[in-house]
Structure 1
Amino acid sequence: MRVGVDGTETAGRVPQDAEGRAPAEGRALFVYGTLMFPEVLRALLGRVPDSAPAEVAGWRAARLPGRVYPVLVPAPEGTARGLLITGLTAAEWRVLDEYEGPMYELRPVELTDARRGWAYVSADPAAASAEDWDAGRFVAEHLDAYLGECAGWRAEDGPAP
C-alpha cells in the first residue's frame, strides 16, 4: 500500500473513470488546484507538461477543511478555472493517480469551450467547505512547504517511473 502526499493510503490503482475506463496515454487532464503550479508538476513528474487555460461549468474548486489543496465538487452555478494538461505518459498518469489518492475519482469532463478531458473530482463532496479554494493564498502561505512534501512523497512513496 502506498501513501499519498496527504498521508492517506492509496491502492496503487490505474487511473479510471467511474465506469472503470482508463484514460489513454496522451489524453488531457483538467487541473484546478495544486497541479496548476509548474513547480508541483516538476516535483511530481520531473517535468512540466504542456497546458492551456481551461474552465468547466457546473463545478467549483472548494476549500477542504484542514488541507491546503482543494477538491472539485458539483456546483450548478459555478465554473472551475484551471488548466488542461496534455501529453501525459502512462507512467505520469500512474504518478498523478497515486498522488491524488482515494479522496478523488477520475471522471471525464467537458470544458466550456467543448474540449474534453479528465478531472480528479471529490469522492465525497460533503467533505468540502462552502468556501472556494484560494490559489493566491496557497502560493503565499503553503507552496514552498508543499513542494517539499511532494518531493518527499515522490522519493519515498511514489510509484516507480
Structure 2
Amino acid sequence: MAEIWLFSYGTLRQPEVQRTVFGRELDGHFDEIAGYELGEVTITDPAVIATSGSARHPVLLPADRAAGVPGTVFAITPTDLAAADAYEVADYTRVLLPLGSGRQAWVYVLASAAPETTQSR
C-alpha cells in the first residue's frame, strides 16, 4: 500500500492532540508548503477546543509568495486520515498539495479558499 502523507502546520503537531485524535504520537519530519500564508480561524466546536486547548487555530490561506509555511509531514494510515478529517471542523478542507521536499501530502486549508480541482471533502 502506498504511504499517505499528512502535512500539519498547526494543532495536529501537538502531542496531546495526536494522542486524542490518533491514539498515539506520530513520528514526523520538517517540510514546508509554498503559495500559502498563515491566517487564523476561531473554532466553536467544544470537543476540538478541549482537545487543542484553544479556540484560535491557524489556517492556510492562498498567497502570492514564494516563502514557505513551515510544518511537519507525517506518514499515516487511512484510519489516521479519517480520524484527522473527523477532528477538523468545517472551516477546513483537505487538499493534496506539493511540499517543499517534492512529496505530495494532504493538507488542511481554509475551505472557502481551497482550490476547486483538489478538494477532497
- Cross-structure match for 1:68: 56
TM-score (norm 2): 0.74
Q: CA deviation at 1:113?
A: 2.1
- Cross-structure match for 2:18: 41
TM-score (norm 1): 0.57
Identical-residue share of aligned pairs (%): 33
CA root-mean-square deviation: 1.9
Aligned residues: 101
Structure (1 or 2) with the larger CA radius of gyration? 1
Alignment partners' CA distance in 2, 1:91 and 1:27: 10
Give the unaligned 5+ runs of structure 2: 44-54, 114-121
Greater strand fraction, Structure 1 or Structure 2: 2
The 8 Å contact of residues 42 and 57 in structure 2, kept in 1 or not, is answered as no
Give the unaligned 5+ runs of structure 1: 1-23, 126-161
Q: CA deviation at 1:25?
A: 6.8
Alignment partners' CA distance in 1, 2:90 and 2:105: 20
Alignment partners' CA distance in 2, 1:108 and 1:71: 15
The 8 Å contact of residues 92 and 110 in structure 2, kept in 1 or not, is answered as yes
Alignment partners' CA distance in 1, 2:2 and 2:38: 25
